[in-house]
């Protein structure tokens, strides 16, 4: 993948205002109504999160995925919002990655651009893995 493709990928990543820093951060909306679920799955999903014991089991596994992500890439991912509805990539400090403009990305050395690209691809995989865990817990509720 060439430099322009990497920059395009980075610029297309979803963003959300991080309440901790007051700045935009790379983020995925993980609210049930935003996930790709049919009506039956959506009903099961709401039952899952409304059951305190099942919800706690789910979050234990999700927090494990986030901890693995942090160990692997050295950056913190966490959820924010009243119902933890946004998966965020920390955007400040040593264990964060800022949101870059196109101009900033064009000026980054190739090694740094590769790092941002790699981290954001892994962050997307974290989101996808979290969704699979959620679906697994939903399936256990169906059975």
CA neighbours closer than 13 Å in the CB half-sphere of residue 99: 17
Domains of the chain: total? 1
Does residue 142 have a pLDDT over 80? no
Region 104-120 average pLDDT: 96
Q: Containing domain of residue 58, as a range?
A: 3-142
- Candidates 40, 9, 41; CA nearest to 118 is 9
Taking the C-alpha atoms of residue 74 and residue 97, their distance in angstroms, rounded to an integer, is 10
Interatomic CA distance for residues 114 and 120, integer angstroms: 10
Task: Work out the average pLDDT over 50-74.
Answer: 94
Q: What is the pTM of this model?
A: 0.92
What is the distance between the alpha carbons of residues 119 and 9, in angstroms, rounded to a whole number? 12
Model confidence at 143, pLDDT cuts 50, 70, 90, reads: low
Specify the pLDDT at position 41: 92
> Worst-scoring range by mean pLDDT, 24-28, 94-98, 117-121?
94-98
């Amino acid at each position: 993948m060439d430099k322009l493709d990497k920059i395009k990928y980075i610029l297309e990543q979803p963003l959300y205002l991080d309440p901790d820093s007051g700045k935009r951060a790379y983020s995925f909306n993980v609210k049930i109504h935003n996930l790709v679920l049919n009506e039956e799955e959506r009903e099961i999903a709401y039952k899952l999160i409304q059951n305190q014991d099942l919800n706690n089991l789910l979050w234990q596994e999700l927090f494990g995925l986030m901890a693995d992500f942090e160990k692997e890439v050295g950056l913190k991912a966490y959820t924010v919002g009243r119902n933890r509805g946004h998966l965020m990539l920390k955007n400040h400090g040593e264990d964060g990655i800022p949101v870059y403009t196109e101009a900033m990305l064009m000026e980054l050395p190739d090694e740094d651009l590769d790092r941002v690209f790699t981290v954001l691809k892994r962050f997307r995989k974290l989101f996808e893995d979290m969704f699979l865990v959620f679906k697994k817990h939903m399936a256990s509720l169906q059975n």
